[in-house]
A and B are shown apart, each in its own frame.
Chain A
C-alpha cells in the first residue's frame, strides 16, 4: 500500500531563512507529498485552514515543544488552532519527565476533548522525554483517548533505545503517526548524536522499520524529518526522500520477507 507522506516543515527552515508557507506547499504538492507538519513557531499558522483548499495538502499536525514558562502559549495554541486537529508534542521541562509535564498535559487534555484535538507525544533526544518508553509510560498513566504517540525513527535511533520490535509492540496501542529520516550516529549530527539526512542516506535501515510497522498493520502517514544540517537544495532533498520512500514501499509490497532480520550480529 502507499502511505500518505508528509514533510515536517523544519526542512524549509535553513540557515539562509525560512521558505514562505505558500512556497512550502507548492513544492510539496508538486512533488507528490500528501501533507505537511507545521512547527508551532511558524508565523503563518493563521493560514493553515487554506492549505487543503489551495494546495490539496493535509496539515497532519502542529509540532510544539513544552518548556517551563510556555504554559500560556501552549494553552493558547490549543485553544485557537484551526485547520489541523493533531499536535505532536515534545516535552522538555527538565532533564527528565517531571511534574511540570504532567500538569501541562492535565491542562491540555480537556481542551483537546472539547476541540477534538489529538496529542501525539514526541520523544526527542536530549529532551526531558527522550524515549518511546517514557512516552508509553505517560500514555498508560493518563490512558486518555486524545493522548497517543508519534514514533520517530530518528529519535529512537539517535537515543540508541534499540530493541525495535519490542519498542514498537509497546508503542502500538498508542501509535498515531510515524516520523522518519535517514540518519547515522555521529558527533557531527543533531545534538552531537545523529545526523538527519534524506531517506536514501544514513545507516538507519528505514526499510526494516517500514516492514516492522507493516507487519503490525500500521496504515497511517509517514512524516519525513528535515533539518538545516541536511543542507543544500530543499526541493532536491524532498524529492530524494520521497523517491527512496516509494521505492521502499514498492519493494516491501513485493518482498515482505526482505525486511525480516536475523539475529543481531553486534
Chain B
C-alpha cells in the first residue's frame, strides 16, 4: 500500500466570491504561500476570467503546477470554442470536461468528444470527463460509460467526491472500482446533503466539516493505489479565502497523516 502523499491542489473556484474574483496572480500567490502543490483553472464554457496565456509561466513564477484546465461543454452550442481552447492552450496537460447541456442528444455528445480526441492525442494532452450534479454527465456511471465506449488511452475521468455525494450515487467502493481504469484526477470538498447547499442539494464546505467522510474516501483511494492529485473544491463558502484555503489544506494533510500512521482506521466496510 502506498503512503498517502498525493499532491493536493486548489480549484480556482475558491476565488469566486460574491464580492468578485481574485486576480490570477493573487490566486497563485495565495495558493503557493498556503502550501498547495497546484491550482486548476476554469475556462468555463469558453470564456475564461483568467488569461490562459499566463498558464505557461505559473510554474516558474509561483512554483505551482497547473493541475488541469476546467471546461464546460454545451453540446451544439459551444463545441467550437471548447475545441479552440483545447487546440491552443499551453502550460497544462489535463483538460477536465463537464458536459452541462446538449441540443442534439447522446450521439452528438459522443461525436463532440470524438472530435476532441485527435487534438488531445496530437498535443500530448489528457481529457478527463467531470461528473457534475445537474449536468448531462452527472454521475460517475455516465462518464465511465463514455470512457468504455471510446476506450482511448488519453480519455479518462475525474472522481469528484462532492458531486458523487450530492448525486447520491452511493456504493463508493463499487464506483471507484468502476472508475479505476479511467481515473485521472480526484476532487473533493466537505459536504452535507441540504436544501441550503449548492443547487438545493448539498453544501460545499471545507473538508474539516460536513457529513461526507473524506477520511474514508482517501482511505478507499489509498487501497486502490491511487497516487494522483487530489483537488479541493471551493465555492460558495470561501469568505476570507486565504483562511479557508489554509484550513482545507490542514484538514487534508491531517487525513493523509492519519492514514499513513493508522492505515487500518480507514478499513471500514463501505455502504453499498
Q: In the complex the two chains form, is B243's CB within 8 Å of A258's CB? A: no
Interface residues, chain B, CB within 8 Å of chain A?
16-23, 25-26, 29-30, 49, 196, 236-243, 247
A contact residues around B247 at 8 Å (CB): 200
Counting from the closest, the 3 A-B pairs by CB-CB distance are A261-B20, A207-B240, A258-B26
A255 neighbours in B (Cβ, 8 Å): 26, 29
* Distance from A168 Cβ to chain B, minimum over Cβ atoms (Å): 12
A265: CB under 8 A from chain B? yes
| Interface residue ranges, A against B (CB under 8 Å) | 157, 164, 182, 184, 186-188, 199-209, 244, 247-248, 251, 255, 257-258, 260-266
**Closest residue on chain B to residue A186 by CB atoms:** B196
Residue contact B242 to A207, C-beta cutoff 8 Å: yes
A74 to B242 alpha-carbon distance, docked (Å): 43
> How far does the alpha carbon of A98 sit from the alpha carbon of B28 in the complex, in Å?
50
A262 in contact with B238 given A187-B196, A200-B243, A257-B26 (CB within 8 Å): no
Question: Which B residues are in CB contact (< 8 Å) with A264?
Answer: 20-21
- Residue of A201, A248, A263 contacting most chain B CB atoms (<10 Å): A201
| CB–CB B19/A208 < 8 A | yes
- What is the chain B residue whose CB lies nearest that of A247? B243
A211 to B257, CA, bound (A): 36
Given the interface pairs A199-B240, A205-B239, the reply to whether A262 lies near B20 with Cβ below 8 Å is yes
- The smallest beta-carbon distance between B57 and chain A, in angstroms, is 17
Interfacial chain B residues near A266, Cβ < 8 Å: 16
Chain B facing A: main interface SS: mixed
Given contacts A205-B17, A262-B23, 12 further A-B contacts (CB under 8 A): A200-B239, A204-B239, A207-B242, A209-B19, A247-B240, A247-B242, A257-B25, A261-B19, A261-B22, A263-B21, A264-B21, A265-B49
**Distance in Å: Cβ of B227 to nearest Cβ of chain A:** 33
Nearest chain B CB to A40 CB, angstrom units: 30
Which one of B17, B18, B26, B30 has the greatest number of beta carbons of chain A within 10 Å?
Answer: B18
Query: Shortest distance in angstroms between A116's beta carbon and chain B's nearest beta carbon?
Result: 37
Q: How far is the CB of A211 from chain B (nearest CB, A)?
A: 10
Tell me whether B20 and A201 are in contact (CB under 8 A): no
The distance in angstroms between the C-alpha atoms of A222 and B166, with both chains bound, is 39
- The minimal Cβ–Cβ distance linking B234 to chain A, given in whole angstroms, is 11
Residue of B nearest to A212 (CB): B19
> Given the complex, which residues of A lie within 8 Å of B239, measured CB to CB?
182, 184, 200-206
CA distance A187 to B197 in the complex (A): 12
Rounded to whole Å, the gap between the CB of B61 and the closest CB of chain A is 14
Query: When A187-B196, A258-B30 are in contact, do A203 and B243 touch as well, CB less than 8 Å?
Result: no
